Chain A
């Protein structure tokens, strides 16, 4: 038994570290601000970060293949603007959601194809994707557009009570993230697709020589990312009940930060989606602490997240160097 503990710790070290940090930060917050000890605060993490969680899950797969997707926030904005415009024109809300998801997939496929077949660097393609998506959103509507559709309003305002915790609740969109997480865990660990993703991230050439479908997998990963961005956009537009090209500024960076803090290495091949969940939770907890403080400004979040990301990247760099030499 003892013999199995050491390899377990070593192999899952980053994930355990992230979970520990989350617990520490949360407990510290609870100590500093007793109001934070209410259970609803924990569930608020899922309410307030619903879109971020979804987007980060998609981003995890992309980063696992050693790529990056800077377009996610743009896609969220575009989805919100397009949804609002369609709903204003009376299109059925379910149809709207399906259309948005299709749009996300197509967008992701396009970017993935450019990256793979034309060998343009992922950050350039997805950076332009970001500007393109926001640009399209602005073309659809220059100012923010309100969503009055009853189905959307229902989803936005219906509280679901949590069993065992009285007075604790979440909204329906908040459930999408955790559900997607389960799907992602299945994909990553129980499908050939997922294992190929890990292989590509570690050594794309090996994966190719091993006969794996590298092209198909890489492009699918970006399509999945696009799907997640669109899904996040739907959730986002439900929460805000409006659509606008300027929404979610910088969320791509929050997503990347969550993924990195969650233990996934930017160099690819290492990490998992459970870590990303905790990365998002840590992000959210920091924001909560700042809100409870009240005096510290919210841009400290930006800086704090930036510093945390840097620290994690630094640690990752060290590990990577160490591994290369051994």
Chain B
């Protein structure tokens, strides 16, 4: 039903930030009355592409054409004027004012010098009914469910300007099945009116349910644009995960050398461990001298399970036993004392303290375990810092460098050093090689296997399938917040991809 005419055409878009290339030569097009899904793992470049389209960021190179006319999108305001409307993942509305107000804020009808509430409510009511949403528009937005709030956001974007393009950024993340269906009805209605819709999501089921075409991004590059009807799910996942370079073969050899010994001590045992709204009950075992890889797509629950084991979140189902001791109190400090360490996913927000020196960052967790009064003397601090700088190959002129001045790879090594310094028995690594150059990646992967050889137990979480396969003795595949399957380390990638796709 979609026209073959392009209402949007992005060509050769390039965007870099200090230290990282977010988009490299990316093309994207949208037809009239088309629902076009944009997918890719974290760091693939989806959000940057959208920011370029909506004027939040300006591209370093490349062009944008609307209705085959060249345009420069200067700002979010301007993008609205050009006919591009966006509904973000976080509902960008105000929960304290009424639905009607949210829809008409900034464009309220006036009468005799004041807002005409009656008219505003009437207009808003009409607008929501047009999308088959029947609610009392005079109630504060916050009184309604997230699903309804999402609809109101869409209504607003349609009322504020008559958009030709509607961008929906992860619209279904907080919706249940019924609400999603309702949303899709609305989307189909808009499609029939000729609006082109960009649909960003990580739910592959939904991609197949509603989209006409799919564009896949990976590591800032365009992998390809396909018709949904002609791309099997398995192939899609394969394209999302992609291949890495052969330099990493060295790591494979390292793994072959370290054989997993049988009957090793069980260090971590999770039975039915779960948290409502975050992770379904899961059974997990970790033994000494083994690397367990946690594979899965974005949103499958890998970080959530890591946070549960490390005590950032407190589970409300099941039990966790560490080295025979049942855990009753969940907190990072308690985990530290039990010999567990977590290298978090977001190293900038949860890992490094940028304005502290390398030395201070490295000894931080160790000092936390010692408490306030058992102070690690300055000389000892330098010793520890120097030891790990050498061990991990952190490139820096001195341990007194501020961590924020280091490259991404070096920052990751500092975080790793922090946790290694606490001499943990169990080490959880959540995306430890994200945003790092290939050489450093290989170093970290080799280190992981080395640590396993020393008797430690490691959970290795990564979106890069190659990496997980290369370093793990056992692989657990997560899907939809559940443990989908468990495989030995020599499983082939097709099996894993099929498990992720839900076929196996």
> Do A and B share a direct contact in the complex (Cβ within 8 angstroms)?
yes
| Residue A165 is within 8 A (CB to CB) of chain B in the complex | no
Within 8 A of B (CB), among A243-300: 269-270
Q: Which residues of A contact B140 (CB under 8 A)?
A: 11
- Bound-state CA distance A201–B96 (Å) is 9
| Residue A199 is within 8 A (CB to CB) of chain B in the complex | yes
* In the complex with contacts A202-B94, A210-B92, A196-B114 CB distance below 8 A: no
- Bound-state CA distance A195–B102 (Å) is 10
| Residue B97 is within 8 A (CB to CB) of chain A in the complex | yes
A199 touches B105 (CB 8 A): yes
* In the complex with contacts A199-B94, A209-B92, A323-B142, A186-B106 CB distance below 8 A: no
- How many residues on chain A are close to B (CB under 8 Å)? 24
Q: Which residues of B contact A269 (CB under 8 A)?
A: 94, 96
Q: Which residues of A contact B143 (CB under 8 A)?
A: 7
A198 touches B97 (CB 8 A): yes
B108 to chain A, nearest CB (A): 6
| Residue A136 is within 8 A (CB to CB) of chain B in the complex | no
Q: Which residues of B contact A207 (CB under 8 A)?
A: 94
- Bound-state CA distance A288–B94 (Å) is 40
- Bound-state CA distance A7–B108 (Å) is 24
Q: Which residues of A contact B76 (CB under 8 A)?
A: 209, 211
- Bound-state CA distance A201–B95 (Å) is 10
* In the complex with contacts A7-B143, A199-B97, A199-B105, A192-B115 CB distance below 8 A: yes
- A204's nearest neighbour on chain B, judged by CB, is B94
- Bound-state CA distance A273–B95 (Å) is 19
Q: Which residues of B contact A186 (CB under 8 A)?
A: 114
- Bound-state CA distance A323–B92 (Å) is 17
* In the complex with contacts A189-B115, A190-B114, A196-B105, A211-B77 CB distance below 8 A: yes
B106 touches A191 (CB 8 A): no
Indicate with 1 or 0, residue by residue over A194-216, a CB within 8 angstroms of chain B CB atoms: 01101101110111011110000
- B141's nearest neighbour on chain A, judged by CB, is A202
B105 touches A205 (CB 8 A): no
Q: Pick the contact of A210: B93, B96, B115 (CB < 8 A).
A: B93
Interface of B is mostly: loop
Q: Which residues of A contact B94 (CB under 8 A)?
A: 198-199, 202-203, 206-207, 210, 269
Indicate with 1 or 0, residue by residue over A4-31, a CB within 8 angstroms of chain B CB atoms: 0001000100000000000000000000
B95 touches A202 (CB 8 A): yes
- Bound-state CA distance A309–B91 (Å) is 32
Q: Which residues of A contact B113 (CB under 8 A)?
A: 190
Within 8 A of A (CB), among B56-84: 76-77, 80
- How many residues on chain B are close to A (CB under 8 Å)? 24
- Bound-state CA distance A294–B108 (Å) is 53
Q: Pick the contact of B106: A192, A198, A203 (CB < 8 A).
A: A192
- A201's nearest neighbour on chain B, judged by CB, is B96
- A271's nearest neighbour on chain B, judged by CB, is B96
Indicate with 1 or 0, residue by residue over A133-160, a CB within 8 angstroms of chain B CB atoms: 0000000000000000000000000000
Q: Which residues of A contact B142 (CB under 8 A)?
A: 323
B105 touches A212 (CB 8 A): yes
- Bound-state CA distance A249–B101 (Å) is 40
Q: Which residues of B contact A199 (CB under 8 A)?
A: 94, 97, 105
* In the complex with contacts A207-B94, A323-B142, A195-B115 CB distance below 8 A: yes
Q: Which residues of A contact B139 (CB under 8 A)?
A: 7, 11
Indicate with 1 or 0, residue by residue over B96-131, a CB within 8 angstroms of chain A CB atoms: 110001000110100001110000000000000000
- Bound-state CA distance A7–B93 (Å) is 21
| Residue B160 is within 8 A (CB to CB) of chain A in the complex | yes
- Bound-state CA distance A190–B113 (Å) is 8
| Residue B88 is within 8 A (CB to CB) of chain A in the complex | yes
Q: Which residues of A contact B95 (CB under 8 A)?
A: 202-203
Q: Which residues of B contact A205 (CB under 8 A)?
A: 92
Q: Which residues of B contact A189 (CB under 8 A)?
A: 115
Q: Which residues of B contact A323 (CB under 8 A)?
A: 142
Indicate with 1 or 0, residue by residue over A170-199, a CB within 8 angstroms of chain B CB atoms: 000000000000000010011110011011
Q: Which residues of B contact A209 (CB under 8 A)?
A: 76, 88, 92
A210 touches B97 (CB 8 A): no
Interface centre among B91, B93, B105 (most CB of A within 10 A): B105
* In the complex with contacts A206-B92, A206-B93, A195-B77 CB distance below 8 A: no
A262 to chain B, nearest CB (A): 16
Interface centre among B76, B94, B113 (most CB of A within 10 A): B94
A203 to chain B, nearest CB (A): 5
A211 to chain B, nearest CB (A): 6
Q: Which residues of B contact A201 (CB under 8 A)?
A: 96
B114 touches A191 (CB 8 A): yes
- A208's nearest neighbour on chain B, judged by CB, is B76
- B101's nearest neighbour on chain A, judged by CB, is A195
B286 to chain A, nearest CB (A): 32
Q: Which residues of A contact B156 (CB under 8 A)?
A: 210
- A265's nearest neighbour on chain B, judged by CB, is B96
- Bound-state CA distance A189–B117 (Å) is 9
B352 to chain A, nearest CB (A): 23
B182 to chain A, nearest CB (A): 21
A212 touches B106 (CB 8 A): yes
- Bound-state CA distance A210–B102 (Å) is 9
Q: Which residues of B contact A211 (CB under 8 A)?
A: 76-77, 80, 106, 160
B115 touches A203 (CB 8 A): no
B196 to chain A, nearest CB (A): 21
Interface centre among A195, A269, A323 (most CB of B within 10 A): A195
Within 8 A of A (CB), among B122-172: 139-140, 142-143, 156, 160
Q: Which residues of A contact B80 (CB under 8 A)?
A: 211
Q: Pick the contact of B96: A191, A196, A202, A212 (CB < 8 A).
A: A202
- Bound-state CA distance A210–B161 (Å) is 12
- A268's nearest neighbour on chain B, judged by CB, is B96
Q: Which residues of A contact B160 (CB under 8 A)?
A: 211
A270 touches B96 (CB 8 A): yes
- A198's nearest neighbour on chain B, judged by CB, is B97
A202 touches B97 (CB 8 A): yes
B38 to chain A, nearest CB (A): 20
- Bound-state CA distance A209–B108 (Å) is 17
- Bound-state CA distance A46–B454 (Å) is 79
A195 touches B92 (CB 8 A): no
A191 touches B115 (CB 8 A): yes
B115 touches A190 (CB 8 A): yes
- Bound-state CA distance A209–B106 (Å) is 12
B414 to chain A, nearest CB (A): 29
B174 to chain A, nearest CB (A): 13
Q: Which residues of B contact A191 (CB under 8 A)?
A: 114-115
- Bound-state CA distance A192–B139 (Å) is 18
Given A198-B94, A206-B92, A210-B105, 10 more contacts at CB 8 Å?
A: A192-B115, A195-B108, A196-B106, A198-B97, A199-B94, A199-B105, A203-B92, A205-B92, A206-B93, A270-B96
Sample (27) of A-B pairs whose CB atoms are under 8 Å apart: A7-B143, A186-B114, A189-B115, A190-B113, A191-B114, A192-B105, A192-B115, A195-B97, A196-B105, A199-B105, A201-B96, A202-B94, A202-B97, A203-B92, A203-B94, A206-B92, A206-B93, A206-B94, A209-B88, A209-B92, A210-B94, A210-B105, A211-B76, A211-B77, A211-B80, A211-B106, A212-B105
Q: Shortest 5 CB-CB distances between A and B: which pairs?
A: A190-B114, A202-B94, A206-B92, A269-B96, A202-B96
Interface set of A (CB-CB < 8 Å, partner B)? 7, 11, 186, 189-192, 195-196, 198-199, 201-203, 205-207, 209-212, 269-270, 323
